[in-house]
Structure 1
């Protein structure tokens, strides 16, 4: 698995039997992931496993398994045995994780970061060209896996990939004229992060037998949760150190990315913010300037405002679960929202 054992509590306070099933499911996901990323060429196999072997919480596969638990009490899909349903859910979870891993290889090249999950980033461990090509290979592998799940799953995967890439492109571009910067940014997050997490939940619901309305609600929930996840991640880039996050702090600031705290600072009319506004106006190349920007931003009200926005979106995500029947899986999803939202506190 990913460093987890039978005593691991995946979501604090959840039903012990559910936790056991999720651990068992993640073991199956990890075995299948290891199987599909293997390659006859030892170099390719090692490069493809680099970020997967570094660990990670397998957040997206966990969400697929949790969404499938919501459908566990519903009739099994027509013509499918329990084992077949479980295998499809695992393949769906693997395809989502492969897509995520592939995007990380590309992110490492774009971010020029040194660390990812506490190990050298893909571009450092290999080189830019290799990192890009391995990312492409993993995207292709995800497509191979999802092709086993039927035409509808393939279409969803394609739509998700388009949104993910479009969101990343928009994230690297200036805010369009006359657009509200914060609303634009939230829309970008819905595409570049929310779309894939929405698909993780959607696949779990689809392949476990959830009805159309339940699948729709869980898909919308996944997208909101993805926005919360990215907002919290952006806050962590400022608030945490590399021992906590496994990433180089201030990476977004160094690259000049306009995350929510930065957008709020840029919109400030307080003369006392002039120095910070100067520092975050674009990429920060000087190490001393980066340290100064981190210090000033960590103590700025923009961080509290960004945290408040994160909690508001978390409330919206939780509200989507209200129509679903109560049970251990829905309760775990509610707890999961809080865990994601409060990572940056």
Structure 2
């Protein structure tokens, strides 16, 4: 990885990869192969990065502790992607076939369940005191996913509805990763709150940018086709903002409310969204959110790990994948 925030934890992130490979082994060769297929597709590894950086920024010194926790969080995150792709009938993830397309839906469901179990086992063995964090975050992810389903293809969805969904779906797991790293480092309360507040906002901003890339992104960089969220009727901020446009908003709403839009519909909607200020508003929202959370880290002592957390915040809003 070329991002500056990666350079001070490269060894720990390699340990995360090694731990995931070790802990996702099964007596069944095909199940092990499916798990390797998921985690081997790569990814940004933001959750383990946040965990490790928070650990060191709060005074931790043992590289193995945060790496184990980070690996557990990444396994659980990967399991949610497996199930999300089945739920959304996704075809491509990170530039390759989704797990259920490469194998079968029934086996992919089981593999996702297995990954959840292995992730929880790794977290519990590494630091039993942080289990409550991941339990709460997992429950929030499920609740957020459920609410999102309720709002699919509903043009009445509001920005507040959307923010509630992404805080639960994405922000809470980022927060749990940071708090877990800080807790294992023995952080004082003020430092724990600092990284928790930072990570919750970071995860929320990350999801806003992610949803914006579904409209503007390069498939060769994002690893998936643009317009996927529109096809699925997912309520995302660029769509919500675009539906407010007095000129093209009604046409976008009409397409968004279709249970089964055609590809022509989707391409038309993307073209119309680009005519509005929706993308600029989304990126401004994410940037403002990141600006507001940077000060949350003020209580932390100066260190290269605190600097890396600040660099990571900048990456989230400028990324292209």
In the aligned structure 1, how far is the partner of 2:247 from the partner of 2:135?
A: 47
Corresponding residue number in structure 2 for 1:62: 49
Per-residue CA deviations over 1:50-89 (Å, capped at 9, x if unaligned) read 11111112111111111122023xxx6xxxxx5xx43221
User: How far apart are 1:338 and its partner, in Å?
Assistant: 1.3
Contact 2:82 2:109 in 1 (8 A): yes
1:207-222 residue pairs with structure 2 within 5 A? 207-222=184-199
User: How far apart are 1:343 and its partner, in Å?
Assistant: 2.2
Counterpart pick for 1:25 among 12, 25, 41: 12
Residue 335 of structure 1 pairs with residue 302 of structure 2: no
Contact 1:253 1:284 in 2 (8 A): no
Contact 2:47 2:73 in 1 (8 A): yes
Counterpart pick for 1:307 among 283, 292, 306: 283
Per-residue CA deviations over 1:170-226 (Å, capped at 9, x if unaligned) read 111139x9x981122112111100111111111211112321210111011111110
Corresponding residue number in structure 1 for 2:301: 325
User: How far apart are 1:299 and its partner, in Å?
Assistant: 2.9
Corresponding residue number in structure 2 for 1:261: 238
1:17-96 residue pairs with structure 2 within 5 A? 19=7, 21-72=8-59, 85-96=62-73
Contact 2:12 2:64 in 1 (8 A): no
In the aligned structure 1, how far is the partner of 2:86 from the partner of 2:209?
A: 22
In the aligned structure 2, how far is the partner of 1:186 from the partner of 1:22?
A: 31
In the aligned structure 1, how far is the partner of 2:283 from the partner of 2:227?
A: 17
Residue 137 of structure 1 pairs with residue 114 of structure 2: yes
SS of the equivalent of 1:173 reads: helix
In the aligned structure 2, how far is the partner of 1:98 from the partner of 1:273?
A: 40
Corresponding residue number in structure 1 for 2:218: 241
Q: What count of residue pairs does the alignment treat as equivalent?
A: 319
User: How far apart are 1:137 and its partner, in Å?
Assistant: 0.8
Contact 2:127 2:184 in 1 (8 A): no
Change (3 A) 1:267 1:40: same
In the aligned structure 1, how far is the partner of 2:14 from the partner of 2:57?
A: 20
User: How far apart are 1:38 and its partner, in Å?
Assistant: 1.2
Change (3 A) 1:344 1:24: closer
Contact 1:257 1:282 in 2 (8 A): no
1:7-22 residue pairs with structure 2 within 5 A? 8-9=1-2, 11-12=3-4, 19=7, 21-22=8-9
In the aligned structure 2, how far is the partner of 1:323 from the partner of 1:283?
A: 49
1:161-200 residue pairs with structure 2 within 5 A? 161-174=138-151, 181-200=158-177
Counterpart pick for 1:297 among 248, 273, 281: 273
User: How far apart are 1:298 and its partner, in Å?
Assistant: 2.4
In the aligned structure 1, how far is the partner of 2:148 from the partner of 2:290?
A: 22
Contact 2:133 2:180 in 1 (8 A): no
Per-residue CA deviations over 1:214-242 (Å, capped at 9, x if unaligned) read 01110111111100110000000110131
Unaligned runs of 5+ in 1: 1-7, 77-81
Unaligned runs of 5+ in 2: none
Per-residue CA deviations over 1:91-141 (Å, capped at 9, x if unaligned) read 110110011000010111112121101110112111222222111111111
